[in-house]
Amino acid sequence: MRKKSILLAALVIVSLGACKPNVDSNRFLIEGQLSNVPDSVVVRLKVNNGKNALDTVINGHFSFTDTISEVRELALWIVGKGFPNHRLPVWVAPGKFIQIKGEDKLLSTWIVTSDIAEQKDQNALQACAMDIRKQYAALAAEETYTYLERSEKKNRNDTAFMKRSSEKIRSLRKISIPLLTQIYKAEIEYMKTMPHSQVWMGTFLDYAKCARLSPAYMPYMNELKALYETLPDELKHSRQGRLAYDFLYPTQSVKIGDSITDETLYDIQNNAHHLTELVGRYILLDFWSSGCQPCVMSVPEMGQIAEQMADSVAVVSISLDPLEVWKKATVKHGIKWHNWNDMKESNGIFIRFDVKAYPTYFLVSPDGKLIGKQVGYSKGSLFKFVKETIAEHKGQE
């Protein structure tokens, strides 16, 4: 009898050890176990330099491991039917094992478990509105799949399909946006009780940015300003604190009829440029991000305008992306016209031009004044915008 007890105890120890494997001191290990998610689904781990590590779900399991020297926030995401276009924050650290469990395709509601302090803060913040988050994720998954269908070649020229899908997206957002604002409200309330940790500061910066660029989603500017006032001076003057302040208390934005400001922008070789150096021709400004599908869809038409109207129009794409992501997107999409970035993570020129959605286009007159604005893209819309705005401007001279 005693031998059986010893054997059972040994099995328990082995089982516990299998649940939390040893990890080399200079590596992290992520193990995921999913149910109700089909095999062959590709899981992406997005790291800070823009690279993705990939693994395929087999028997509900996926894993990632790599070397690391410090605590860092990564992001997990999946593209496919039933998955929302969301990122799951995953904190990693040297020598740490991270376990992820999911019971459905709603990736943003999966549970991440580790003894990393930042992950515990992240989990506590997300848990305060988890029931609403699940409802929102389900609607987001349906909207994401609708966008994937719209991008398919067979559907792009199907006017009836595109109209139906647009109506579907609008109806989904009538339900999902109020849910999202409820999540933000609950998390902002919870943040009043949290220490000003790395998670707090990162979330606060994201929310300040959202309140500035998308007030319909984040109508809590005053509440965020009150949270900002709780920061000690050292955090107010930190990189994240300064960026948040710029979003909460922005400088005066440029409006139609105003002269453009002398912004300093950089090309991918780090050479400095100014918008004012192009004055004398019309300037088409393209505010974009590589993660924005309509932005990417507009690239061929941008190239046509840059080539066919070169004598009268200078095309300038201004990227929101960090350096490495921007460089890769430039090569991938063959951007050969003026292609610049202020390297201020959207708090600089994007705020001064009051850009709240991507893509956003402006047309600048030869004397340096804003004369037109277009938000969003559809095939042929840029040529129409440029030609009609130029014609109207010339008619007023």
Token digits of residue 322 = 């960090």
β 370-375/313-319 pair status? unpaired
Cα distance between residue 78 and residue 242, in whole Å: 32
Q: Which residue has the tokens 């998670």?
A: 199
83 phi and psi angles, rounded to 5 deg: -100, 130
How many secondary structure helices (H) and strands (E) does the chain include?
A: 14, 15
Distant-in-sequence, close-in-space partners of 180: CB < 8 Å, separation ≥ 6 = 136, 217
pLDDT tens, position by position, for the chain (397 residues)?
444 443 433 443 344 344 578 899 999 999 999 999 999 999 999 876 557 899 999 999 999 999 999 999 999 999 888 999 999 999 999 999 999 999 999 999 999 999 999 999 999 999 999 999 999 999 999 999 999 899 888 988 889 999 999 999 999 999 999 999 999 999 999 999 999 999 999 999 999 989 987 898 999 999 999 999 999 999 999 989 988 998 898 777 788 999 987 778 999 999 999 988 898 999 999 999 988 989 999 999 999 999 999 999 999 999 988 888 899 999 999 999 999 998 876 557 888 888 888 899 999 999 999 999 999 999 999 999 999 999 999 888 6
- How far from 105 is each of 98, 150, 175, 314, 332, CA to CA, in Å? 19, 21, 20, 45, 30
Q: Which residues pair with 319 in a beta bridge?
A: 288
Q: What integer pLDDT is reported at residue 19 of this predicted model?
A: 55
Q: What integer pLDDT is reported at residue 50 of this predicted model?
A: 57
DSSP run (H or E) holding 246: helix 239-248
Q: Report whether 393 contacts 365 (CB < 8 A).
A: yes
Cα distance between residue 376 and residue 349, in whole Å: 18
Task: For 131-150, give the secondary structure using H, E and C.
Answer: HHHHHHHHHHHHHHHHHHHH
Q: Report whether 143 contacts 83 (CB < 8 A).
A: no
Q: Report whether 116 contacts 98 (CB < 8 A).
A: yes
| Surface-to-core class of residue 340, CB atoms within 10 Å of its CB (0-12 exposed, 13-18 middle, 19+ buried) | buried
Distant-in-sequence, close-in-space partners of 76: CB < 8 Å, separation ≥ 6 = 43, 44, 45, 46, 87, 88, 90, 100, 107, 110
Helix axes 159-191, 221-228, angle to 10 degrees: 40
Q: Report whether 377 contacts 391 (CB < 8 A).
A: no
β 360-364/338-340 pair status? unpaired
Cα distance between residue 354 and residue 373, in whole Å: 11
Burial 107-118 (b: 16+ CB within 10 A, else e): bbbbebebebeb
380 phi and psi angles, rounded to 5 deg: 90, -10
pTM confidence score: 0.69
Q: Which residues pair with 105 in a beta bridge?
A: none
Q: Report whether 191 contacts 203 (CB < 8 A).
A: yes
Token digits of residue 357 = 């959605």
Residue type, 90: V
Distant-in-sequence, close-in-space partners of 87: CB < 8 Å, separation ≥ 6 = 46, 75, 76, 77, 108
Distant-in-sequence, close-in-space partners of 18: CB < 8 Å, separation ≥ 6 = none
* Number of residues assigned to the chain: 397
Q: What integer pLDDT is reported at residue 89 of this predicted model?
A: 96
Q: What integer pLDDT is reported at residue 291 of this predicted model?
A: 85
Q: What integer pLDDT is reported at residue 253 of this predicted model?
A: 79
Cis peptide before 322 (omega within 30 of 0): no
Q: What integer pLDDT is reported at residue 133 of this predicted model?
A: 96
Cα distance between residue 206 and residue 217, in whole Å: 12
- How far from 107 is each of 22, 53, 143, 238, 354, CA to CA, in Å? 26, 17, 15, 32, 32
